[in-house]
Structure 1
Amino acid sequence: MASFSRRVLWSFSHVFRQSSPIFYKRHALCFFKGSWRQVLSVGLGASLCAIPVGQRSDPALSNESLIRRAASLVSDSTQTLLSQTTYALLESLTEYTKAVYTLLSLQKKYTALLDKMNSSEESAIWQVLIGARVQIKKLQEEYLRYEATWTRAVSLSEMAAEAAYQAGADHASVTVRNHIQLVQIQVQETRELALKAEALLAASQSEEIMKTITEDKNSPPDGGSPSEEVPEAYLRED
């Protein structure tokens, strides 16, 4: 039965080729043509996968020019990062400095009224002073965090400037280095203002402590001795 079916199929194909030779050849060519298209598409896909990501689209561009262009792009990106971190650090340092001067003002007022307050008034003012110190601590932690990020941004910018110089992108390298120098000056000036405020606050606190000790020695409480210890309010933790 199987042999009979093959004979019938062969006879049918033979008659088909004899009756329409052109039609048969055309479809055979279309079949092989389609097969080669499939093979070509597969081979082309495999070859495209091997093309590097950074391959130039313009044959006129050399590898050196592409590297210079990439180095310039990296320099621009690091400058953006450095600008943003510098702004955040300067703003944070400024807020911290303002808080220190606020505490300094409160400290001076407290010292001036030290011998004119009763215990309840002194306790109320100390609550305000403690709140101001907590705020200073919070702002200090914030600016230190921004300072660490800014330091990393400076380091990245320095590496980008060196990479641009090695790649021959001299303009980009000089621009980045000038930018680094500018922001370092700005940060240094703002940091010096904060340090000055801290020094004034420390001096005011020392003056307050010395005044308190002197007053306690000159006017000891009933049954006490002139060598009174520093009041408990000064021994509290912030």
Structure 2
Amino acid sequence: MENEIRRKPRILCLHSFRTSGRIFQMMISRWPENVTGELDLVFADAPFPAEGKSDVEGIYDPPYFEWFKSDKEFKEFYDFEKCLNYLEDFMLTHGPFDGVLGFSQGATLAAALPGMQKEGVALSKVPTIKFLIIISGGKFGGAKFGLPKLAARAFSSPVNCPSLHIIGELDFLRDESKALMRSFVDPVVIKHAKGHCVPRLTGEDADKMLQFITKYHCMKSRI
């Protein structure tokens, strides 16, 4: 007879602009234990050292990293392929992963991954991403961000990857986050009253996240 074991969903966590995996882990640690205890969260550092001042200096210690390089207006991108290759190597080494969770720059990158994976221009060596959790993300090719060549078709059609979008009413990326949300098929949304941050999850919002993840993850793996 086959034995069944309970397996937590393994989620790759991508931090924000000029922060780090360790900093993102500290932010996520404010979520209730009944959420984090049900997830296998893996926090990665981005491949490029920060090339300027971080907004979290004096709050969190360095080093700080960036997922991709761009001009000051985030319209032209450089070494984007290196970012994707680095990410694929990390996933091969530390995966397999069920989903991807990103905040800010990490969320913008995460949101484009399913489309690029479908087009065969990224993550061809790893399993298909089952779901995304997007916190304060933007959209490549939207009003604020340009479009890297490798992501040219990432949003050419509605993205058919289950997605949960956490959007702050006072977030400077609120409109971008909403535009990104509309690029997905049947998105799930959690709204909060704060700005550009990783909000605390309480009550119904915490339940909503767990229900979303459980729906798209097989909690029992057969061995």
TM range (shorter): under 0.3
If asked which structure has higher relative contact order (CA below 8 Å, sep 6+), I would say 1
When normalised by structure 2's length, the TM-score is: 0.21
More helix by share: 1
User: Which structure has the greater CA radius of gyration?
Assistant: 1
When normalised by structure 1's length, the TM-score is: 0.20
More strand by share: 2
